[in-house]
């Protein structure tokens, strides 16, 4: 059975299995419809029912989820065994675009606390996903190795935009997403809560 480091990574993986457009994963919900979670002795077993396309099962150990939560990492420690570097950069881009779109609608100072929370979460996920891609960089390497790409989506991302997988570009994007997240938090830190 496949193993994810955290529940969030399992949901990202399910979203990658459900591509909605030309190479765009379905990250519309934190838990996709058709997902069930069963508690076992040492792990959850998550099952995503894709209808006629079948079912996918992923196991998440309680221990890895607990450590990730205590440390404050969304997708877990170490390098992902499920999601490759190309997919992580794609995911980062999806969350960043969503954050831009939502943030733009808040630019005039209007927006509920819930809307601001969604933008903040999108920037956080963009930064964390980009950080996951950076984890694939070997020490001293100028670019990601081919072994960091094993999915069809990841290989396509590399073939279409190899410049996105240099150390410089990966780190620049990570710093940009992280910086934008911090700027957003500072900008909205003193706004009074509004009703949804």
pLDDT tens per residue, the chain (196 residues)? Answer: 899 999 999 999 998 887 655 556 666 556 667 788 999 999 999 999 877 778 899 999 999 999 999 999 999 999 999 999 999 999 999 999 988 887 666 655 556 778 888 889 999 999 999 999 999 999 999 999 999 999 999 999 999 999 999 999 999 999 999 999 999 888 877 555 554 4
Place of tokens 């996709």: 32
**Do 157 and 97 reside in the same domain of the chain?**
yes
Count of domains in the chain?
2
**Do 42 and 104 reside in the same domain of the chain?**
no
**Do 179 and 89 reside in the same domain of the chain?**
yes
The structure's pTM equals 0.86
Residue-range definition of the domain harbouring residue 115? 85-188
- DSSP code string of 45-103: EEEEE-GGG-EEEEEEEHHHHHHHHHHT-SS-SS--SSS-HHHHHHHHHHHHHHHHHHH
Residue 194 lies in a domain: no
**Do 49 and 103 reside in the same domain of the chain?**
no
**Do 65 and 93 reside in the same domain of the chain?**
no
**Do 135 and 175 reside in the same domain of the chain?**
yes
Residue 79 lies in a domain: no
């Amino acid at each position: 059975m496949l193993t994810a480091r955290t529940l969030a990574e399992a949901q990202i993986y399910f979203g990658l299995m459900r591509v909605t457009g030309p190479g765009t994963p379905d990250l519309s919900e934190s838990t996709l419809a058709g997902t069930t979670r069963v508690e076992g002795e040492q792990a959850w077993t998550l099952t995503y029912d894709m209808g006629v396309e079948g079912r996918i099962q992923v196991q998440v150990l309680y221990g890895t989820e607990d450590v990730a939560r205590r440390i404050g990492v969304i997708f877990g420690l170490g390098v992902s065994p499920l999601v490759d570097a190309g997919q992580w950069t794609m995911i980062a881009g999806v969350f960043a675009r969503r954050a831009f779109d939502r943030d733009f609608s808040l630019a005039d100072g209007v927006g509920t606390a819930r809307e601001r929370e969604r933008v903040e979460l999108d920037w956080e996920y963009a930064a964390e996903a980009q950080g996951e891609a950076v984890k694939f960089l070997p020490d001293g390497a100028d670019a990601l190795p081919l072994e960091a790409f094993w999915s069809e989506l990841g290989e396509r991302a590399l073939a279409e935009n190899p410049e996105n997988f240099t150390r410089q570009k990966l780190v620049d994007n990570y710093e940009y997403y992280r910086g934008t997240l911090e700027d957003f938090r500072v900008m909205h830190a003193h706004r009074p809560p509004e009703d949804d």
